[in-house]
Structures are given as structure tokens and as C-alpha cells.
Amino acid sequence: MAVRIGMMSFAHMHAYSYIHCVKQLEAEGKAQLVGIADDDPQRGQQVAQQYGTRFYNSYEALLNAGIDAVIVCPENIKHRPLTEMAAKAGKHVLCEKPLATTKADGRAMIEVCKANGVQLMTAFPCRFSPSYIRLKQMVESGELGEVLAIRGTNRGRNPGGWFTVPELSGGGAVIDHTVHVTDLCRDLLKSEVVEVYAEIGNGFCHGDFDDTGMLTLTFANDVFATLDSSWSRPKVFPTWGDVTLQVVGTKGLVYMDMFAQNSTLYDDRNMRITLEHWGSSIDYGLVSAFVESVATGKPVPITGEDGLAAAEVAFAAYESAKRGEPVRLPLPE
Amino acid sequence: MLRVGIVGVGTMGRTHASAYTKLPNARLIGFTDAIVDAARRVASQFGVQAFDSYEALLEQVDIVDICTPTPTHLELVLKAASAGKHILCEKPLGRTLQQCEQMIEAADRAGVTLMPAQVLRFFPEFKQARDLVLAGAVGTPAAIRTRRGGPYPRAANDWYADFEQSGGPILDMVIHDFDWLRWTFGEVERVFAKALTFKGLDHIDYALITLRLKSGAIAHVEANWADPGGFKVDFEIAGDAGMIAFDSRFAMPLTVAKQDAGGGGGGVAVPESPLAEDPYMLEIKHFVDSVQAGQPPSITAEDGMKAVEIALAAIESARTGKVIRLGGGA
């Protein structure tokens, strides 16, 4: 039977991609888009109209509309209250990253879902990238030998809006762009981050939020990694940004540029050069995996614990920059 | 006409030698090397003299060009200075800061020129990037990334693999990037680094270094002796009004692929990036012209020492796990 899905908030732009994926799954008979709710009614109504679905005036109304699961994409600080509402209503939750802006919030989200017998999945779509899956095969097969070091980037542009209001986002570029690559490293290494050092700056936008992050992570298995989480792409950059991972092993090195499957469009009318991506949709893999877990009851592939572990690295990065020295993990509860 | 002697007939010694032979105001006199036969072989290729001792070479020249493993630099520089010879010394200037200080003091006392061969300053892509940055092309730089490396280097006596001699890829290789970063963006405030250097691996080394500059910009430097896929260099300078990006993989105007002649190994595309003015040639020319004019060269021995200081701070950070702050103070 098709999994009945409600969408909670479109504050995060990834929601637009997720709803597209839900519609695709609907066409395949695997999901049903029941409706959406948003505390910005104008935005919510507009999206509902665009996707031919119903707009609910409140989150409560959506949760009472006979749905099985929700996709939660509000401002970062609202991940906890919306997840709590959904869990208490018995709905499974796919939550946008970063899972939470504090460790206490993340822990509470995991607990409330457990207590109400619903699954909590963190939206880390990069795990579903065919290039990443292939890279992981190379690591797991041992053809690269023992992994020694990783160099990662997840760079983009300042998205503006609430992303630059720390009271809503929990920070800036570092909270926004640390978690994807951190999650990939944890998934590859099967090891936890035990130390974080970070240089953080605001040299791109000169605002009251960070836009530059250069993190150094050390894992329990002694592998080290750096991660550039900066909003450093210029306005004229031909694409949104990147996710790259270079894995150095005793027997070889593999470099992944996750979104390199593009053709170049030279557009005279808009005086722009853009990279037109033709690689596989990673968001479809994410939403599809969530729907399958809800339908079958099998555990979600990326848990709330995974989401919190990655977010904790961002929290530690801010702490490290404040103290000017490396910070040990886990952070105090 | 300035008479030149070269110490060390490895790749760099031979590269420098070719440059001198093309200059109108310099004459290559000869070579000396710890391996006497090697010096003789290379000397005959260039049609110049092989000297059995450094002292004998010093007697015949105005300029000494030192292209030997790092720990030998100190003694060679001190002898050259006290003999009143001008010195071009390969990077890194010294293995320790103390060695660098001794060299600088000796050169000052003797009134001779001592230039560290930070040749990256003569590479057009790096020189142009600096010019663009200084002209404000990217606004105020905020995040800078550099990458350098490839397969583990092999040389006489495998000296690169002896950390006590070479200092590994941090001191031996990305000292190029440290010098260029300082030259382009100013002084370094603090350094944090992780490296494989002390893990006792067999011919694999790799380091990731984060620098906070006094300007506030953040730089990330990769030092790679763990990439069997060939030597690569890239950099990216992102500022508040734009970005400059260079990647050696995509700056190759020529790519040749040959039919396998039957011996195996054929069929691999080999890229080339030819230049009318070779960066090593420009470096040597600048040095010789400076000596001839009695002017200080644009790269000072202090610059060489500062680059060593950044590299040693990165090594210290990788060894201790601590943040290393430069210029004293904790």
C-alpha cells in the first residue's frame, strides 16, 4: 500500500526537491502525497497549488489527515518541535539536516520517536549518490588498502534568509555544510569523530554569521580528515556548489566530485554560463528509502543518531573556534 | 660574466645548469657532487669541469648554486659565504630555523647575496594569481586552498624518505605554497596540521594543513606523497568579490597518446604544458641579474626562513596535535 505522506514546512528549499520525489513515488504507486502544512500560509498554499495537493491550515490538521509519515523541512531550530508533534501523533519522520542545533534537541528528537514507536530518519541524500556508493564499494573491498586520510569539501553560496539568522539556523555555513561530508566519512570509516579543530570566519559576507569553515576531524580509528564547509562559491559560479571527497589509502587514492556529471550551458540571453547536471537524483534515493522503510517496517538506513553525530561535529567546530584549540568529542550532554 | 658552479647533479642541479648555459651574463664552470662519478657524467654532458671537492669548485667561481639534500645546505652556504661567493640555495633553505639564521648571518657578514630558490614565484599561474589578488580581482580573500603532490619522490639514497633529512612533504614540498601564500596574502598567525609523517608507513606521506593568516583569511594546504595517479597542482582563491581557480589537470594545451610499440605501457595519454619562458630559467635569470647589478633579489633569505618557519610549525602541530602560533606568544 502506498505510504501516505505529509510535508511540514517549506522553509528549507530542499523541501521542493523532496515533494517532487514524493510525486514521482506517487506515480509509481509507492507513496501518496496527502498534503502540506506551513507556518507561512502563503508559501504553503502556493506549493500546494503547484503540486495539486491540499494545504492544511495547521500542522495538527495535517497530522490528523490520515498520514503515515512526514517530511520535516522548517528552519533548523524548529526541527525539534515539529518532530515532537509528528512523533506524538504516531507519524514517522524524515527530518532535514542538520538534525538539530543543540545536542539536547537532537537527543530529545531521538527519544520522542523511540517512545512513540516511530522511525526518525535524517536527510543525508549524499549517501544515495551512485558515485559515493561506488567509492564505498572500493573502500569496503579493500582495493585502496587501509584508509589513512580524507579530504572533503561541501561548498556553496550563502542561501540568505533565515540561514543567516543564527537564532533560526543555529549558526551559518558551518552548521549548514558540515554534516553531509561528516556523515559520509562516518559511514565509510565505521568510526566516530573524537576530535574537531576549526577555523571559522565571515570574510565573504562580513555578517553576524559564519560563512567560512575549515574543519579538521580525527576519528577513533586514527584517520584524519579536513572539511571545507564554506559558502565560498561566487555569485557567477556555474553551479550551486560541490561535494567532494578524496580518500587516501595504503594501496591507492580515490577522488570523488559528486556532482561532476554536467554539461556546460553558455546562455547568451541571460549572460551566464551554467553547469547542467544530468547525474542521478540523490534526493529520489533518499525519499524512496524512507518510504520503503515506512512501508515495510525495516529500519531506516540513516538514523536520528547518525544525524546527531554529524551535527555534533558542527557544534564542536563552533566550540573549537571559540576556544582556539581542538575539542574532544563526545561533547557533554 | 659571472662564473657559476653547481653543487649536486640531481634533477634540480641539471635543470639549473641548463638555465645558466642560456644566459648571456653567466658561464657555467662546473659541478661537484658527493658521488664523484655522477658529477663527471653530468659535467661531460654540459661540456664543463667536474670538481672532486667543493673547495676546488669555490676557487673557480663567483656564484655557487646549491642543489643538494636539505641538511647539507648549512655547511655549503657557510663555506661559500666565507669564500665571498654569491649563493642560490635550493628550498627549503635549512632543515631548522637555527640553520637558516646561521646562513643569513654568514651571508650578511660576508656581504654576499643569498637567495632561496622559491621558484614558485616564477610560475606564471602563481605569479598571475598574486597579481590579480593584489589588483583586487577577488575583493578581499577569505578562503584559499592549495594542493600539491603525486607519487612518493625517489632520489639518491632515498633521502626523501628520511624525515630527519627531508622533513617530509610539509617541509620539502609545500614550502612552495607556504612561501607563495605569505608573498601573496601576508603573514601567518597560527597553524594546525595532521599528517601521516609519523605513522611509520612505507613510502606514503600526506598532510592537510590549515593556516589562519594575520589578515583573517583561512588557508588550507594539501601535501600529497600518496597519489600514484601523477603529479598535480591546484589552487583556489575565494574572496568577497570573486574567485580564482587553477587546476593543472585542465591547463594542458598538449596531450599526446602513442600506439603501443609492443613493449607495453603505451596508449596512456601524456599531457604537456610548454612555456616560452621556463620558470626555472626566469628564477636563475633574476638571481644572476641581481648579483650583477649588486641589487638584493626579490626573494630574500629571510623569506626562505619564514617559509621554513611555517613548515616547521605545521610539522610541530602534526606531531603534537596542538595549534602552533607563529612569531612567539601562545
Quote the pLDDT of residue B328.
54
- Domain of B21? 2-118+292-297
Chain B neighbors of A225, CB-CB under 8 A:
208
What is the average per-residue pLDDT within A109-133?
98
Q: How far apart are the first and last CA of chain A?
A: 40
Q: CATH code at B127?
A: 3.30.360.10
- Quick one: B149 and B240 in the same domain? yes
The superfamily in CATH containing domain A126-280+311-328 is Dihydrodipicolinate Reductase; domain 2 (3.30.360.10)
**Core vs surface per residue A31-63: b (16+ CB within 10 A) or e:** bbbbbbbbeeeebbeebbeebebebbeebeebb
Q: Are residues B111 and B177 in the same domain?
A: no
241-270 of B, contacting A, C-beta below 8 A = 241-243
Question: Do B99 and B164 share a domain, yes or no?
Answer: no
Name residues whose C-beta falls within 8 Å of residue A84's C-beta, 6 or more positions apart in sequence: A108, A109, A112
The answer to whether position B235 is within a domain reads yes
Query: Which residues make Cβ contacts (< 8 Å) with residue B289, sequence separation at least 6?
Result: B25
Same domain, residue pair B245 and B194: yes
Measured between beta carbons, which residues in chain B are less than 8 angstroms from residue A218? 194
Q: Are residues B321 and B193 in the same domain?
A: yes
CB neighbour list of residue A126: distance below 8 Å, 6 or more residues apart: A132, A180, A181, A183, A184, A243, A258, A282
| pLDDT tens sequence across A219-275 | 999 999 999 999 999 999 999 999 999 999 999 999 999 999 999 999 999 999 999
B60 within 8 A of B150, measured Cβ to Cβ: no
Whether the CB-CB separation of B193 and B207 falls below 8 Å is answered with yes
Choose the closest CB to B243 out of A197, A234, A324: A234
Judge if B154 and B262 occupy the same domain. yes
Q: Is A76 on the interface with B (CB under 8 A)?
A: no
B228 and chain A in contact, CB less than 8 A: yes
How many separate domains does chain B show?
Answer: 2
> Do both B232 and B198 map to the same domain?
yes
Give the closest of B140, B228, B322 to A203, CB-based: B140
Neighbours of A316 (CB within 10 A): 25
User: Is residue B287 domain-resident?
Assistant: no
Q: Is residue B330 part of a domain?
A: no
Question: What is the structure's pLDDT at B329?
Answer: 42
Q: Which of A150, A153, A214 to mutate to test the interface with B (most CBs of B within 10 A)?
A: A214
Closest CA to A33 of A65, A10, A79: A65
Note whether residue B106 is domain-resident.
yes
Task: Answer yes or no: do B240 and A203 touch at CB < 8 A.
Answer: yes
Q: Does A163 touch chain B (CB under 8 A)?
A: no
The residue among B188, B218, B237, B323 with the most chain A CBs within 10 A of its CB, best to mutate, is B218
> Which residues in chain A touch residue B322, judged by CB atoms under 8 angstroms apart?
325-326
Assess A320–B contact: CB distance below 8 Å, yes or no: no
**Which DSSP string corresponds to B25-76?**
TEEEEEEE-SSHHHHHHHHHHHT-EE-SSHHHHHHT-SEEEE-S-GGGHHHH
Nearest residue in A to B215, CA atom: A203
pLDDT tens over chain B, length 330 residues = 999 999 999 999 999 999 999 999 999 999 999 999 999 999 999 999 999 999 999 999 999 999 999 999 999 999 999 999 999 999 999 999 999 999 999 999 999 999 999 999 999 999 999 999 999 999 999 999 999 999 999 988 899 999 999 999 999 999 999 999 999 999 999 999 999 999 999 999 999 999 999 999 999 999 999 999 999 999 999 999 999 999 999 999 999 988 876 655 556 778 899 999 999 999 999 999 999 999 999 999 999 999 999 999 999 999 999 999 997 543
* Mean pLDDT for the stretch of residues A311-332: 98
The answer to whether the beta carbons of residues B176 and B279 sit under 8 Å apart is no
Nearest chain A CA: its distance from B175 CA (Å): 20
How far apart CA B49 and CA B40 sit, in angstroms, is 8
Give pLDDT tens digits for A51-96: 999 999 999 999 999 999 999 999 999 999 999 999 999 999 999 9
Q: Chain B: nearest CA to A321, how far in angstroms?
A: 11
**Looking at the structure, do residues B255 and B111 belong to the same domain, yes or no?**
no
CATH number at B78 reads 3.40.50.720
Q: Does residue A238 belong to the interface with chain B, where contact is any CB pair within 8 Å?
A: no
**Both ends of chain B: CA-CA distance in Å?**
50
Q: Is there a single domain that holds both residue B7 and residue B61?
A: yes
CB B210: neighbour CB atoms within 10 A? 24
Which residue in A has a C-alpha nearest to residue B217's C-alpha? A203
Same domain, B134 and B274: yes
Separation of alpha carbons A329 and A321, rounded Å: 15
Same domain? For B158 and B55 the reply is no
Question: Which of A149, A225, A230 has the CB atom closest to B196's CB atom?
Answer: A149
ipTM: 0.96
The model's pTM is 0.96
Class of the A3-125+283-303 domain?
alpha beta
Domain ranges across chain A: 3-125+283-303, 126-280+311-328
Q: What is the mean pLDDT of residues A158-177?
A: 98
Residue B204: list chain A partners with CB under 8 A: 148, 248, 250
Across A18-35, average pLDDT: 98
pLDDT over 90 at A113, yes or no: yes
For B242, which residue in chain A has the nearest alpha carbon? Answer: A234
- Residue B45 maps to a domain: yes
Are residues B61 and B125 located together in one domain of the fold? Answer: no
